[in-house]
């Protein structure tokens, strides 16, 4: 399948499962994850009308997105990988949405940069739903207090929660937990679901799915 056909297939599968789950048409947005792919691979996806993309490394994104953005208006870039505070300034300058806020130090660094640069970013708090020691994300039990701190003390524009379930587990319970926590936080956005499980995520209420290999091919 060509990249255009794969993109169409993914968007049709999202719409089909959303409709079946009684969700409104257009209520799930697609973040096309373009990490490891260069501008030549990404441009055809932009040409198909896709405008929202996800990258997991600040430096890699800096290398390819300024040129792509210059050619097409309305690109929205999401950072979906872990962020070090020494990269906060670069991340705030390039990205529109940062999905991986997961500790106080990075939240503070981001808040400072948003103020300094005067950019209006949106943020997600990443939750480590599987309590995996090697994985980023806040402990589910600390999520409500952490989100409150980010919003009330740091004035970060937190709009939702994000998770990456353990690779070897049924993702459903993790998606359900993220949805429950978002409710407790008063947040409406849920970033969950990747190539292997985005249909399940939509059933559990995902408002955006992050799909890479199903569109761009294997990395």
Ligand X SMILES: *Cc1c(COP(=O)(O)O)cnc(C)c1O
Q: Does 33 bind ligand X (CB under 6 A)?
A: yes
Token representation of residue 119:
């950019």
Complex with ligand X: residue 73 or 210, whichever CB lies closer: 210
CA dist list (Å): 154 to 25, 92, 147, 158: 34, 15, 10, 10
Q: Which of residues 85-104 bind ligand X (CB under 6 A)?
A: none
Residues with Cβ within 8 Å of residue 56, at least 6 apart in sequence: 33, 35, 79, 80, 81, 82
**Is beta strand 97-101 parallel, antiparallel or unpaired with respect to 29-33?**
unpaired
Complex with ligand X: residue 53 or 146, whichever CB lies closer: 53
Q: Does 80 bind ligand X (CB under 6 A)?
A: yes
Q: Which residue is nearest to ligand X (CB)?
A: 212
Of 2, 7, 1, 5, nearest to 195 (Cα)?
7
Least separation in angstroms between residue 212's CB and ligand X is 3
Complex with ligand X: residue 108 or 135, whichever CB lies closer: 135
The 3-state DSSP class for residue 11 equals: helix
Least separation in angstroms between residue 96's CB and ligand X is 16
Binders of ligand X: how many residues, by CB under 6 A?
A: 14
Complex with ligand X: residue 9 or 186, whichever CB lies closer: 9
Q: How many Å apart are CA 114 and CA 112, to the nearest integer?
A: 6
Q: Does 56 bind ligand X (CB under 6 A)?
A: yes
Q: Which of residues 174-213 bind ligand X (CB under 6 A)?
A: 194-196, 210-213
Q: Does 78 bind ligand X (CB under 6 A)?
A: no
Q: How many Å apart are CA 120 and CA 100, to the nearest integer?
A: 17
Q: Which residues bind ligand X (CB under 6 A)?
A: 33, 35, 56, 80-81, 164, 194-196, 210-214
């Amino acid at each position: 399948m060509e990249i255009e056909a794969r993109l169409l297939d993914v968007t049709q599968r999202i719409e089909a499962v959303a409709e079946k789950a009684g969700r409104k048409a257009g209520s799930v947005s697609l973040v096309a994850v373009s990490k490891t792919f260069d501008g030549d691979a990404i441009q055809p996806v932009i040409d198909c009308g896709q405008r929202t993309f996800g990258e997991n490394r600040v430096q890699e994104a800096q290398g390819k997105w300024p040129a792509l953005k210059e050619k097409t208006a309305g690109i929205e870039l999401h950072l979906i990988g872990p962020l070090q505070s020494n990269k906060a300034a670069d991340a705030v300058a390039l990205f529109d949405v940062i999905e991986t806020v997961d500790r106080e130090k990075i939240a503070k660094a981001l808040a400072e940069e948003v103020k300094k640069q005067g950019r209006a970013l949106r943020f997600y708090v990443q939750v480590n739903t599987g309590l995996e020691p090697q994985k980023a994300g806040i402990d589910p039990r600390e999520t409500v207090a952490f989100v409150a701190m980010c919003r009330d003390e740091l004035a970060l524009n937190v709009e939702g929660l994000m998770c990456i379930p353990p690779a070897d587990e049924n993702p459903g319970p993790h998606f359900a937990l993220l949805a429950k926590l978002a409710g407790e936080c008063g947040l409406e956005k849920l970033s969950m679901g990747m190539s292997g499980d985005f249909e399940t995520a939509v059933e559990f209420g995902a408002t955006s799915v992050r799909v890479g290999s199903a569109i761009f091919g294997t990395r």
